[in-house]
Structure 1
Amino acid sequence: MKNSRQDRIMSVLFYLFTACFAAACLYPFWLVLSSSATAEVTLLRDGYRLFPEQYSLAAYKAIFSSSTIPDAYLITIFITVAGTALSLLVTSMAAYALSGRRLRFAPHISLFFYFTMLFSGGMVSSYILITKYLHLGNSIWVYILPALLSPWNMFLMRNFFNDIPKELFESAKLEGAGEVVILRSIVLPLSLPALATIGLFYALGYWSSWMPAMLYIDDTKLFSLQYIIMQIIRNVDMAQNIAVAGAQSTAQIAPAYTVRLATAIVTVGPIIFLYPFLQRYFVGGLKVGAIKG
């Protein structure tokens, strides 16, 4: 059946609207990218432009001049990959146990998870727990274990598990499958959209983590990328203030503004590549056809 003229016009309008919306989303990213590769003098004189007159990689040289950047990248990648995998494992097991009335006191146990979303012991108690009792100081696991489970993500996944038809569980139990087999072979394959979404939340959190490095890490080899970048920005700002106080010329001032923009590209760039791989999982209907009439 051929599409009518009105349908074709609507399709063209939808494509135009989508293209305009995509351009509006890409505009700020391109502005930051081009400005980060601009000479500091040109940026101060002309402001932000899509295509600046004078390009310079001084900001990126200032960032990657630190010998700890490669190690920090490896540390952050390990934290993101291992932390996301372990968090998804723990979150899915907790969500499965609290879904579908499998536990007798599941509502009461859920209340303990919910309580942690409203109240916190504070930074002092967390510091004492992590350093004195868990002994995670100067350990790479201090980035992962304290953030291993998010109650909000657990409740999201539990609600997704509750939407899976009960007939699937009943038929699996009739075949002799245990809870572990049901979770591994039925629940998780049908929950790819939820796993992809929550996994992205966890990955973004681990990738952006810098507070544990400031509080619990003294070994420079265990510093995360974000903490190293924060130190670089602080040093550049200090150098700029000293240059201004000494009445140096503009050309001698450290590239403080472009360094800030370059750090945004360096830290955000790698995590952006996760979206194309996870996009195909953000779809519904994976459970359609799982139950045959």
Structure 2
Amino acid sequence: MSSSAKFESGLDKFNRIRPGTNVVFHLIFIALALLCLIPVLVVLSISLTSEDAIRTSGYRLIPAAFSGEAYQYIAQQGTMITKALGISVLVTGVGTVLGVMLTTSMGYVLSRPNYKLKGLLTWIVFIPMVFNGGLVSSYYINSNVLGLKDTVWALILPLAVSSFNVIICKTFFRSTIPDALIESAEIDGSSQLRIFFSIVLPISLPVLATIGLFLCFTYWNDWFQSMLYIDNQNLYSLQALLNSLMTNVDALAKNASSMGISYAELVATMPKESARMAVAIVIVVPVAVAYPFFQKYFITGLTVGAVKG
């Protein structure tokens, strides 16, 4: 009897002994799903609540008084929001493509058994997962040595490659791509670049989707790089803008003079709490909409290297 058949037989016996097992697991997963969903619903509720209702009634799952003033205010800040959205889209798109190419190429090289420096480079990739040079050294390198300060590349290059993603790619290529396939291509005279782009990548869609999602989430949700390297507000991403709102409720009022509105008047009429939550919803929605289309490949890529019977 195969290991999978033994596992299914044991699972059937367990379910017969514990008839309520599935019910318990369903309740647990429902509770966990609610723990993830309820905070998002609360944020959405706050973004749709008037400032007066928030001050008098506090945060509620169902708005005490519906209001769209936060989204109207965001729409009025067209220049700032659009510019921040453009930076986020640019950084996420370029960073994801660049990161996927660098990560998969490094993972493929480390997965080849006949590569002489495989052991050394594997340790070089693995060590930063445990130890790193620290924030001060990385800031000095990125700002002073590479000159990335106040450039879009400061938001892209530091996050393009991670040891964890390289290990995932290495494991996938080593366990999925047959050595015979690579050897046959080499016998036919194909170069390593041609093998990688024409043979390996087309049959590696699960790991490409997985690494792409990891990088996409990382870039889209990142605000820390902006805090470190960006002083020019024209290079703020949506996440950096939200962080600015969280720490300074008057952040959107900095452009008041250009709109012909006094600073005091704008601050007085600004939907502070609901505006913060509305920006958070604007940030979350694109990722939430895109994830279901990649979920199948994402799960497949994460299970790479699992024990097989």
Task: For 2:282 and 2:114, locate their aligned partners in 1 and report how far apart those are by CA, in whole Å.
Answer: 45
Number of the residue aligned with 1:248: none
**3-state SS of 1:138 partner:** coil
Residue type of the alignment partner of 2:69: A
Task: For 1:21 and 1:216, locate their aligned partners in 2 and report how far apart those are by CA, in whole Å.
Answer: 37
TM-score, scaled relative to structure 2: 0.74
Task: For 1:93 and 1:238, locate their aligned partners in 2 and report how far apart those are by CA, in whole Å.
Answer: 42
Task: For 1:29 and 1:214, locate their aligned partners in 2 and report how far apart those are by CA, in whole Å.
Answer: 25
1:132 aligned residue (139, 144, 147)? 144
2:183 aligned residue (142, 156, 170)? 170
Task: For 1:261 and 1:209, locate their aligned partners in 2 and report how far apart those are by CA, in whole Å.
Answer: 17
Residue type of the alignment partner of 1:36: S
Q: How many residue pairs align between the two structures?
A: 264
Farther off after superposition, 82-91 or 270-279: 270-279
Task: For 2:129 and 2:86, locate their aligned partners in 1 and report how far apart those are by CA, in whole Å.
Answer: 31
What do the CA deviations read for 1:211-252 (whole angstroms, capped 9, x no partner)?
A: 22222222221111111222223332799xxxxxxxxxxxx7
Number of the residue aligned with 2:220: 207
List aligned pairs for 1:101-250, cutoff 5 A: 101-164=113-176, 165-236=178-249
Q: Residues 206 and 47 from structure 1, CA distance in 2 versus in 1: closer, same or farther, beyond 3 angstroms?
A: same
Contact 1:63 1:232 in 2 (8 A): no
TM-score, scaled relative to structure 1: 0.78
Residue type of the alignment partner of 1:162: R
Task: For 2:245 and 2:75, locate their aligned partners in 1 and report how far apart those are by CA, in whole Å.
Answer: 10
Number of the residue aligned with 2:279: 263
Task: For 1:16 and 1:146, locate their aligned partners in 2 and report how far apart those are by CA, in whole Å.
Answer: 41
What do the CA deviations read for 1:63-89 (whole angstroms, capped 9, x no partner)?
A: 454432111110110000000000000
Residue type of the alignment partner of 1:104: K
Task: For 2:245 and 2:46, locate their aligned partners in 1 and report how far apart those are by CA, in whole Å.
Answer: 18
Farther off after superposition, 146-155 or 27-36: 27-36
| 1:28 shift after superposition | 4.0
1:79 paired to 2:91: yes
Number of the residue aligned with 1:55: 66
Q: Residues 169 and 238 from structure 1, CA distance in 2 versus in 1: closer, same or farther, beyond 3 angstroms?
A: closer
RMSD of aligned alpha carbons: 3.1
| 1:115 shift after superposition | 1.5
Farther off after superposition, 96-105 or 198-207: 96-105
Number of the residue aligned with 2:256: none
Greater helix proportion: 2
Structure 2: stretches of 5+ with no match in the other structure: 1-24, 253-267, 302-309
Task: For 1:101 and 1:195, locate their aligned partners in 2 and report how far apart those are by CA, in whole Å.
Answer: 21
List aligned pairs for 1:3-42, cutoff 5 A: 26-42=37-53
What do the CA deviations read for 1:152-201 (whole angstroms, capped 9, x no partner)?
A: 10001100000122222222223322211221122212221111111111
Task: For 2:188 and 2:173, locate their aligned partners in 1 and report how far apart those are by CA, in whole Å.
Answer: 20
Task: For 1:280 and 1:198, locate their aligned partners in 2 and report how far apart those are by CA, in whole Å.
Answer: 13
Q: Residues 189 and 212 from structure 1, CA distance in 2 versus in 1: closer, same or farther, beyond 3 angstroms?
A: same
Task: State the identity %.
Answer: 39
Task: For 1:274 and 1:220, locate their aligned partners in 2 and report how far apart those are by CA, in whole Å.
Answer: 28
| 1:52 shift after superposition | 2.6
1:275 paired to 2:291: yes
Farther off after superposition, 45-54 or 153-162: 45-54
Structure 1: stretches of 5+ with no match in the other structure: 1-13, 240-251, 286-293
| 1:25 shift after superposition | 5.4
Task: For 1:64 and 1:235, locate their aligned partners in 2 and report how far apart those are by CA, in whole Å.
Answer: 20
